[in-house]
Structure 1
Amino acid sequence: MYENQTYDTILARMLTRVPNTVDKREGSLIFDALAPAAAELAQAYAELDINNNLIFADTASEEYLTRRAAEFGINRKEATKARRRGEFFDNTNAPLNIPIGSRYSIGGLNYTAIEQISTGVFALECETSGTAGNRQFGTLLPITYVNDLARAELTDVLVPGEDEETDEALRSRYYETVNEPAFGGNIADYKQKINAINGVGGTKVFPTWAGGGTVKCTIIAADWEEPSPALVEEVQTIIDPEENQGEGLGQAPIGHAVTISGVDVVTVNVETTLTLAPGVTPGQVQSDVEAVIEAYLLEQRKTWAAQTQIIVRTAQIDARMLTVQGVEDVSGTMLNGVDANLVLDEEEIPSLGTVVINE
């Protein structure tokens, strides 16, 4: 808005207000008196322009976007802690129950036992908020001494930890809420309520899927993978408890029998023929090729909720493989043994399986 209010423009305008009978050349008394004021005014106009952008949701950022969204009851999601499955054994390899509140460590992260799932199996909560708690798998080291404990393993992600919501994610949610008002169990209402639950990354809503009064909501986890049964059960309980479906004991309206399900994973096996640079072997590019394909499939999973269905395209995979250093050409790419795009159902997401590279 104020981009034309530069130092030179302001100074020139100020000098026009000085009579021509006064020396206005650079270095003159009046010039040197006005120049600092023009510089300060130019800086003030620049700050006005910045502040003007911070007023509106499309250009606001950080604290200002948080405050703008909060005016409509949309609060920025804080970082959450991952909940993981821990398995514990004694020296005979039999499952061992551990004390609630006992602590364990792996890869610089600490986890606390918060709930027993079954004999020797416990839900552990990461003490560090964010996605870091989703990444570690393997042997846990006890921080708290536990009698007879011989081995502890950190396994499945029950509820993924999430980082603090980004500006773009909050802005998108702001527009969705303002432009698609949630009311009385409409599709927008279900999406907004379910997406606000910790661990949920996106939702698709299928109204009257099994007759009048029935609703099916399919979710993807916040780490863009298939949700754990524990997360699906938690969302089901919050929205419409299974034992009292349709009675309005959850967030769903009375009369709505809601079924929560997780996305189905389709394994994508890739076979391709690469022309490699002289001296480069398939083994040298294998991991990089797998990484770019996985990155493409992750992009597709992140947009799953916004798409009618995901189409895994061979052309997209070819284009990404061509970015790998040492790959000069690509041909004959097949997905699950077929030389064609892979079209998934509405509730399916792709996950990378094997990658076979031919020369």
Structure 2
Amino acid sequence: MFEVKEEDILNRMLESIPKDIDKRKDSSLIYNALAPAAQEIAKIRSDMDRFLSYSFASEDMPEEYLDLKAMEYGLTRKPATYAVKLGIFTDADGNLMDIPLNSRFSIDKINYEAIEKIEKGKYKMKCETLGAAGNYEAGALLPIEYVEELGTAKLTESLESGIEVEDNEKLFNRLMLKIKTPATSGNKYHYLNWALAVDGVGAAKVFPLANGLGTVKVVIADSDKKAASSELVEKTAAYIEELRPIGANVTVVSAIEKPINITADVSIIKGVNLANVQSEFRSLLTEYLKSIAFDTEYISIAKIGNILLSTTGVIDYKNLKVNGELANIALDNEDIAVLGTVNLGVI
């Protein structure tokens, strides 16, 4: 809209100079004075086009501009959070033992700090690295500083998941949801937007009048589109409680995971490794299931077949089954589909 070529700007500027003044290209004082100015004006006009485009929300725009656009609607980008895991500590005889608070431990170059005692020998271990890196499955911890009488230190279940900073796509989707679903007077969309505003909530579903007049049920999933932890459910309920209209009776619960197990026989390109095919297929399926969380009433076996055919190296398939069935898999209202087992054989 605003962009104009540098040569066109320079030519217009030269045309405004009287003809009896020397304005020869590359040799005259006038030309050499105007050429850099034309270059700068062209750049400014190009920037004007770019900045105009940033006034319209897009997941491809720079983060700082999407943040500003989201702020117009009262939304802010969800920050990264630290993972908190359960640490269990025993002495040389295998008995649970206490350790000093703020003791630091390491596992595969990821450090954790004991921030709170739960009971004897059991502590909340906060990861020192922001984001999903702290969601380590389980394993033996190594003390960074000496801990007297320590026999074993184990990192076990997750208490609070570490979450990466919200990316542009997720923030843009929340922004579009808020714009397209007007939230007023505690309506369904109000509860949906309130739930999605909580750090760690990746999907939500709202059931007005779930248990009669004046009741609302909110079902949530975590940022990985899996069942929410009890801590996340409590945090979401507390947040909604602060905002809900007087008189509403609100229940917040976790989504129920429904494992999706896949079996099939595939024909693959010669030289392609079946393990690589299975790994990529799992990755594609996981992303697909995340993308349809709470948005569908069934898992389509045809869609899964299409994903299988789009997997690198796959030529064809047969005997595709989902949860042992040659059919679509129905989902209940509170179900969220998560990938279970994937077993591929070679035709």
Question: Which of the five TM-score ranges fits, normalised by the shorter chain?
Answer: 0.7 to 0.9
Q: Please name the residue that 1:254 is paired with.
A: 246
RMSD: 2.9
Distance in 1 separating the partners of 2:210 and 2:306 = 38
Q: Give 1:123-134 correspondences, 5 Å limit.
A: 123-134=124-135
Deviations 1:228-252 (A, max 9, x none): 2333234334445xxxxxxxxx543
Deviation at 1:42, TM superposition (A): 1.0
Q: Is the 8 A contact 2:214 2:248 kept in 1?
A: yes
Sequence identity of aligned pairs in percent?
A: 37
Distance in 1 separating the partners of 2:287 and 2:313 = 24
Distance 1:66 1:327, change over 3 A: closer
SS in structure 1 at match of 2:54: helix
Task: Normalising by structure 2, report the TM-score.
Answer: 0.85
Distance in 2 separating the partners of 1:236 and 1:113 = 27
SS in structure 1 at match of 2:332: coil
Deviation at 1:54, TM superposition (A): 3.3
Deviation at 1:220, TM superposition (A): 0.7
Q: Is the 8 A contact 1:289 1:321 kept in 2?
A: no
Higher mean C-alpha deviation, range 129-138 or range 11-20: 11-20
Does residue 200 (structure 1) correspond to residue 184 (structure 2)? The answer is no
Deviations 1:46-77 (A, max 9, x none): 12222333344347532233234334432222
Distance in 1 separating the partners of 2:267 and 2:69 = 53
Q: Is the 8 A contact 1:207 1:214 kept in 2?
A: yes
Q: Is the 8 A contact 2:277 2:314 kept in 1?
A: no
Q: Give 1:118-267 correspondences, 5 Å limit.
A: 118-240=119-241, 250-267=242-259
Q: Please name the residue that 1:246 is paired with.
A: none
Deviation at 1:204, TM superposition (A): 1.0
Q: Is the 8 A contact 1:314 1:340 kept in 2?
A: yes
Q: Is the 8 A contact 2:222 2:228 kept in 1?
A: yes
Distance 1:93 1:196, change over 3 A: farther
Distance in 1 separating the partners of 2:32 and 2:238 = 73
Deviation at 1:210, TM superposition (A): 1.2
Quick one: which amino acid aligns to residue 340 of structure 1? Answer: A
Distance in 2 separating the partners of 1:274 and 1:308 = 27
Deviation at 1:171, TM superposition (A): 2.9
Q: Please name the residue that 2:284 is paired with.
A: 295
Quick one: which amino acid aligns to residue 332 of structure 1? Answer: N
Q: Please name the residue that 2:263 is paired with.
A: 271
Q: Please name the residue that 1:342 is paired with.
A: 329
Deviations 1:203-227 (A, max 9, x none): 1111111111221111111232222
Distance 1:189 1:101, change over 3 A: farther
Distance in 1 separating the partners of 2:269 and 2:55 = 53
Q: Please name the residue that 1:110 is paired with.
A: 111
Q: Please name the residue that 2:13 is paired with.
A: 14
Task: Normalising by structure 1, report the TM-score.
Answer: 0.83
Deviation at 1:100, TM superposition (A): 3.5
Higher mean C-alpha deviation, range 194-203 or range 262-271: 194-203
Does residue 357 (structure 1) correspond to residue 344 (structure 2)? The answer is yes
Deviation at 1:332, TM superposition (A): 2.4
Distance 1:95 1:39, change over 3 A: same
Quick one: which amino acid aligns to residue 339 of structure 1? Answer: L
Give the unaligned 5+ runs of structure 2. Answer: none
Quick one: which amino acid aligns to residue 51 of structure 1? Answer: F
Quick one: which amino acid aligns to residue 113 of structure 2? Answer: T
Distance 1:275 1:288, change over 3 A: closer
Distance in 1 separating the partners of 2:112 and 2:19 = 78
Q: Please name the residue that 1:245 is paired with.
A: none
Quick one: which amino acid aligns to residue 343 of structure 1? Answer: A
Q: Please name the residue that 2:314 is paired with.
A: 327
Distance in 1 separating the partners of 2:151 and 2:280 = 36
Quick one: which amino acid aligns to residue 282 of structure 2? Answer: I
Deviation at 1:31, TM superposition (A): 4.5
Deviation at 1:200, TM superposition (A): 1.7
Higher mean C-alpha deviation, range 43-52 or range 144-153: 144-153
Deviation at 1:107, TM superposition (A): 2.0
Distance in 1 separating the partners of 2:129 and 2:276 = 30
